[in-house]
Structures are given as C-alpha cells and as structure tokens.
Structure 1
C-alpha cells in the first residue's frame, strides 16, 4: 500500500506542474539564422581538422619516443645500458620517418634544386656524430646532437616540399 500512496503522491505532484515552459528569450532568430546561413567560401576551403591531427601525430609520436629515450640518459648512465642499441633505434626511427616523407612528397615539386645536397651534408654530419659516439657512446650531448641533425633533415624535406606559406 505504501507504493500505491507514493505513486498517487507522485501523480499529484506531476499534475500540479505547469504544462508549458516558456524560454527566457525568443529562440526563433537563432534557429532561422542557423537554417538559412550558407557556409562561406572560406569554410569550404578549410581542410578538415583531422588532417592536421594525423600529420601532427605522425611527427609527434616518433619525436616523443626519441626524446624519452634520450632524456632517460640525462642522469648517470648505467653500465648495463647499451647505447649502441639506442643509436640504432634512433637511426631506424629517423630512416622510417624520412622514407615516409619522401614517398609522400615524391609527386610534389621541390622549391629549390639544391635541397638534396643540403640533405647530404646533414647526413654527413650525422655520420660524423655516429663515429664520435663509437668512441664515447655515453655522451648525452652527442646523442642530442644526432637527434637534432635528424630533425633538421626532416624539417628540410618538409620545408622544401610543403612550406608553411603554402599551408592555409
């Protein structure tokens, strides 16, 4: 019987509520504007935001992985740590990212003709740093220099094929 009383009480409270609720202001202006407004030419020309997210993720994920692996060396280097494996992993990640970018931009014309010679110079610098790392494998500064040279190569490829002034 108590459930019957509570249901009756609930029914009475529901019946006492007002049937219509009026908004605090006129909403038809906003509704009409949303229906009649056509997308502008700039809205149509904007690339989808997921494209930017995908490009950022493809660059950011390997960069973070490299940064974490190098920052873990900033403290005292443990004797069991194999820095040759770290250098190999760093080089492999870079080569993968570089080849991916080159495949992506293979059909796009380069803005300059000498970009490949600049890329070769940076590759020579990376080889010199790797050689120095063979003599001093636990040198954190050399590891950071190698990472910087790799990033400069990636930036060069991107700037030559897709400069920021062309991206709107």
Structure 2
C-alpha cells in the first residue's frame, strides 16, 4: 500500500467514526482523584527499592574498603619487595637459560653483557638498602631485570626464526 493510498484510507476511516461516542463510565472522578491526591508521599514499593539501593551501595563500599585494607596488608615494601623481585627474576632467568642451553647463541659476548647487567642490578640493590621505598630505583631494578630477560631471549631465538 502506497503512502498516498494509506493516508486516504486512514482519512476515510476517521471520517466514518462516530463523533458522539461516550465512554462506558464516567472518567472524571478518577481524573480528579489523580490530580488532587498527595503525590509528595512515595509509594511503599518505591521506598523499598530506594532502601535496597542504599543497602547495596553501603555493602559495595564496605567490600571495596575491606578488600583495599586486606590488599595493603599483603603488599610488600622495602627490603622484602626487593628480595621478592630479585628472587622472581632469578627464577625466570634460570628457566630461560635452561630452556636455551642447547641452542647456539647468535653472539659470543652475550654473557659479558649479562654480567654487566647483573653488576648494574647489584648497584641498584645497594642504593635500595639506603632508600628501600624509592620508586625510581625499584623501576630501574625492574628495567635491568627485563633487559636481562630480553637479552637471553634475543640471543637464543632470533626474530627471523619466529613465525
């Protein structure tokens, strides 16, 4: 049905409607009640939903607070953090060295480079003994550790051999 046909059919149906049709009952009492009733007092269902929302919000903030306090108790700082980072790095480095022990290295001086990075890590750890919570030194230590891992991986698995 085209738009013009539809509009014409709609206009014909509207013209055929009984203009004096009355509702089955008087609607004014309901309208008057709706207009004059005190709408400032919310219904019990709305109050219940709001209380549930408040309770859920309080519970959520309580859980977040508890988790943050619990997380702070577990987090490492100072010398413990440095020892943990060093131990984790040593395990990762040894695992890589064992994995690549049968593969030939691409360069001959990679072990001297690894030793230089070890010396740098020792120097950073010495500085961390004086300032155990210095974030710049901790980031430097992580960077040196990552450089060692990258060196071992690059020396033993060249990019052209990877797919």
Deviation at 1:82, TM superposition (A): 3.6
Runs of 4+ in 1 over 2 A off after TM superposition: none
* Aligned counterpart for 2:114 among listed residues 93, 115, 119: 119
Rg (Cα) greater in structure: 2
Q: Provide the rounded CA distance (Å) in 1 between the counterparts of 2:158 and 2:122.
A: 27
Unaligned runs of 5+ in 2: 1-70
In structure 1, the partner of 2:123 is: 128
CA pair 81-158 structure 1, distance change in 2 beyond 3 A: closer
Aligned position for 1:86: 81
Distance 1:117 1:88 in 2: 24
CA RMSD of aligned residues (A): 1.9
Please show how residues 1-168 of structure 1 align to structure 2 within 5 Å: 82-168=77-163
TM-score, normalising length from structure 1? Answer: 0.52
Q: Describe the superposition over 1:15-38 as per-residue Cα deviations: whole angstroms up to 9, x where unpaired.
A: xxxxxxxxxxxxxxxxxxxxxxxx
C-alpha distance in 2, partners of 1:93/1:81?
A: 14
Structure 2 CA distance for partners of 1:126 and 1:161, relative to 1, 3 Å: same
Q: TM-score normalised to the size of structure 2?
A: 0.53
Structure 1 CA distance for aligned equivalents of residues 122 and 76 of structure 2: 22
Count residues in correspondence: 91
Q: What are the superposed Cα offsets for residues 98-130 of structure 1, whole Å, 9 maximum, x if unpaired?
A: 000000000000000000000000000000000
Task: Supply the distance in 1 between the matched residues of 2:104 and 2:118 (Cα, whole angstroms).
Answer: 22
